[in-house]
Chain A
């Protein structure tokens, strides 16, 4: 090897050699793909939903039947055959499942997080954490079947008059499904609380109970709230379990009324599956209503995710 070779080697431009540029652009394209996905979701949902509403349909050059946006957002009857598209009937069912699953998942999830972060011995953690992961990993179809076949009969013996399809069983399984999500994000927040704070508490004579409830939980509150919102957004978007267990008859129910949980209803996601399984002609009004519901769902979950992000960032205690 001559000296020139060595000098060449040592002074070569490694940043902009073709190989470096090629690999860097490949990685960049991969990262940009996520933006492309989001943009295409938004564009697709907005353009297809625009063809559905009578205000915007002429802009898209669509002739034929359309639906009024006011009726869509305020109507409480969902009957595709009669062209009555009141999304509130679907939203009320989704809301009820969200409330029902929240009643189960939020307290249990936070309690699990406190136990794992403050009380559990490392040996028990090593067993409990994978078990909770399995809870989140079971397919939602399986949860739906469990709700319909095993949980509903139990409910029917306790509360006679409950229908075969009911929102209560759907809420229970969705609640179980999202416990791990609440637990793992809250636990991360609690583990991030510095040990000095706990030691200070013990130094003041506090018991473990006082330290957990009086110091750790308040310090991790922003993380806990953001886990709540993320889990609820997951409950709203949950599809197969509610499709199987909650029924297929759309009706507007009062979410505050506990007895309404014994009835069946049609949540948004289940309505989308039902539309697809029925005979819808490509490009028809029913087909476009699919995208209108999809847009509603996407906006609700997106707003919740953004709020959760904001809470986690803005109200995080800096240590």
Chain B
């Protein structure tokens, strides 16, 4: 009743207390930051234990402050005021340098210790020949019936890889008439040097990508020049590398995985967006400052920090003493595991996502699959480990702890995550695009392959990278399948025993528990593992942001 209302109630309209709201807001902010701050503090602690920056000469700190930190901050502040887009471009270039260098380290490890470049060349040629043949066939004659085409493709790959009559003939007791291309190449009397093989395979592939990118940014001529230039640069790296103290094979890997792609990105952006060119100051200052600082420190004789994360730690195997212990076999194992997991989970996960989004009828069976996938995502990782142990080891009788079993178990573990994120990416493709494709007379598979998957690809890639990040940190399933916690050599193939970075860290912090390992080897291992993970996460986040802003 308006007449009964006491005047105080109406006055309270103007006197709402802001205190509660303000307090609430800051409590929420504090809660949000709590986990991030605690984790940040722990990471600072562990980095301090691993790198020990305080053991360096004050002069060392001062030199790098003057050559690296202050100039970078100066340029950063200037660009932040003037042009944030240019700053972002510069920062991305620096980030890309760091990430590609890490990636080059992994790839280099594969070609130095696991897979000989010459064998790689032999298989690359054996795969490229039938591929080119099939491509030519498809271009020449479009109206070949499907089965003829599929049969010809299979036959071409079989003959090229395995020869005539190959394993099928060998079963029937036929002698080999023509060996397969890999065997043929490997029986050649003159063997090209490792770096030449690598330039012809990895280098050529990277150069082709560079050419395509340049052609898209500018024109065909520029693409041709860029491609040839990239190939020449990669070859030159292999030829002159030894003169600068870098062995040829790592030099080729470094050039083709790190230097050439980063330079291409920087140059391409500088050409297509001239207004952002000034952003190139950032990498120039960072890289130049680091080099100048290094030279100055060497000349002035200032000692750097006694970091436990050093070349020795990254390239030696486990040891009983923490000072000599290293992570090399574990890093190699993690790389091989990731290759296996990616090869298994990507096609299967994307395939399942395509079925559920594009093909599945709306019936009970589809709903069961749907519920089942979300439940699988919640199954603890140890249980997946038990599955790997029971199925692969006990029932199929494989030996424990191999790359293949570990990879298969981890692939099953991340499969639900890959499926769920791929489905989201596929769902975000606008329906109009599909309808337009059908309207042009395309079949379902043509629509999926030419319209849906290319459009959803960045999203699928982001989800897969995040899932791989989950897999690289998993330890429990590997313990369950019997992966050895201590391994002194790199795995050489898919059937050899494998260790992994988190497993090695676990072994050091529990099986070899001692003050020495706690303060030296484990923090160093944690720093390496977390750096790899942060690199993968940042790639995924950058990809996603770019993809979202495009849409």
Please list the residues of chain A having a beta carbon within 8 angstroms of any beta carbon in chain B. 9-10, 14-15, 17-20, 23-24, 26-35, 37-38, 40-41, 44-45, 48, 107-108, 111-112, 114-116, 119-120, 128, 130-135, 137-142, 144-146, 148-150, 176, 179-180, 183, 205, 207-209, 212-213, 230, 233-234, 236-240, 243-244, 269, 272-273, 276-277, 282, 290-291, 294, 297-298, 301-302, 304-306, 309
Chain B: CB-nearest residue to A48: B390
Question: Whole-angstrom distance from the CB of A286 to the nearest CB of chain B?
Answer: 14
Q: Given A141-B475, A148-B509, A273-B479, is A19 in contact with B146 using a C-beta cutoff of 8 Å?
A: yes
Closest to B39 in A: A135
Q: A111 contacts which chain B residues (CB < 8 A)?
A: 27-28, 31-32
Q: Inside 8 A of A150's CB, which chain B residues have their CB? A: 42, 45-46
Does B502 lie within 8 Å of A240, measured CB to CB? Answer: yes
Per-position binary interface string of chain B over residues 347-374, scored 1 when its CB falls under 8 Å from any chain A CB and 0 otherwise? 1111110111011100000001101111
Query: Which chain B residues border A309 with CB–CB below 8 Å?
Result: 371, 374-375
Does B476 lie at the interface of the complex (its beta carbon under 8 Å from any beta carbon of A)?
A: yes
Q: Mark B364-388, 1 if CB is under 8 A from A, else 0.
A: 0000110111111011111110110
Interface of A is mostly: helix
> What residues of B have a CB within 8 angstroms of the CB of A15 in the complex?
444
Q: Which of A9, A18, A135 contacts B146 (CB 8 A)?
A: A18
Could you show 8 A-B contacts with beta carbons less than 8 Å apart? A18-B146, A30-B351, A34-B415, A35-B372, A145-B505, A148-B509, A209-B20, A291-B390
A17 partner, pick from B443, B529, B537, beta carbons under 8 A: B443
Q: Given that A135-B36, A138-B473 are contacting pairs, would A209 and B21 also be in contact in the complex, using a CB cutoff of 8 Å?
A: yes
A29–B356 CA distance with the chains assembled, in angstroms: 11
Which A residues are CB-close (under 8 A) to B502? 139, 141-142, 240
Name A177's closest neighbour in chain B (CB-CB).
B35
Question: Are B376 and A37 in contact, with the CB atoms below 8 A?
Answer: yes
**Minimum Cβ distance to chain B for residue A135 (Å):** 5
Q: How far is the CA of A273 from the CA of B386 in the complex (A)?
A: 10
B interface: dominant SS: helix
Flag whether B38 is at the interface (Cβ < 8 A).
yes
Contact between B352 and A44 (Cβ–Cβ < 8 Å)? no
The distance in angstroms between the C-alpha atoms of A48 and B473, with both chains bound, is 28
Once the chains are docked, how many angstroms separate the CA of A294 from the CA of B477?
12
Which chain B residues lie closer than 8 Å to A114 at the CB level?
28
- Any A CB within 8 A of the CB of B16: yes
Instruction: State whether A119 touches B526 (Cβ < 8 A).
Output: no
Contact B46 A294 (CB under 8 A): no
In the assembled complex, which residues on chain A have CB atoms less than 8 Å from the CB atom of B376?
Answer: 34, 37-38
**Size bracket, chain B contacts:** 35 or more
Complex alpha-carbon distance, A208 and B147, angstroms: 66
Q: Are the CB atoms of B387 and A40 closer together than 8 Å? A: yes
B534 touches A140 (CB 8 A): no
In the complex, the chain A residue whose C-beta lies closest to that of B511 is A277
Report yes or no: A142 in contact with B505, Cβ–Cβ below 8 A.
Answer: yes
List A contacts of B415 (CB < 8 A). Answer: 33-34, 37
Tell whether, in the assembled complex, residue A115 and residue B31 are in contact, meaning their CB atoms are under 8 Å apart. Answer: yes
A244 touches B383 (CB 8 A): no
Most chain B beta carbons < 10 A, residue from A10, A14, A238: A14
The 8 closest A-B pairs by CB, nearest first: A237-B380, A139-B473, A30-B351, A111-B31, A27-B355, A115-B28, A239-B476, A30-B352
B469-490 near A? 1/0 per residue, CB < 8 Å: 1101111100110100100000
**Selected contact of B537 from candidates A28, A112, A137, CB within 8 Å:** A137
Most chain A C-beta atoms within 10 Å of own C-beta, residue among B28, B347, B348, B350: B28
| A142 contact from B369, B448, B530, Cβ within 8 A | B530
Separation in Å of the A239 CB from the closest CB of chain B? 4
B171 at the interface (CB under 8 A from A): no
Let me know if B244 is at the binding interface, CB within 8 A.
no
Residue in A14, A23, A131, A272 whose beta carbon sits within 8 Å of that of B36 in the complex:
A131
Is B309 among interface residues, defined by CB-CB distance under 8 A? no
Complex Cα spacing A26 to B530, Å? 37
Taking each of A27, A41, A48, which has the highest tally of chain B beta carbons within 10 Å of its own beta carbon? A27
- Min C-beta distance of A236 to chain B, whole Å: 7
> Of A108, A144, A237, A304, which contacts B34 at CB under 8 A?
A108
B225 proximal to A (CB < 8 A)? no
Q: Chain A residues with Cβ under 8 A from B373's Cβ?
A: 34
Closest residue on chain A to residue B22 by CB atoms: A209
Do A142 and B412 touch (CB < 8 A)?
no
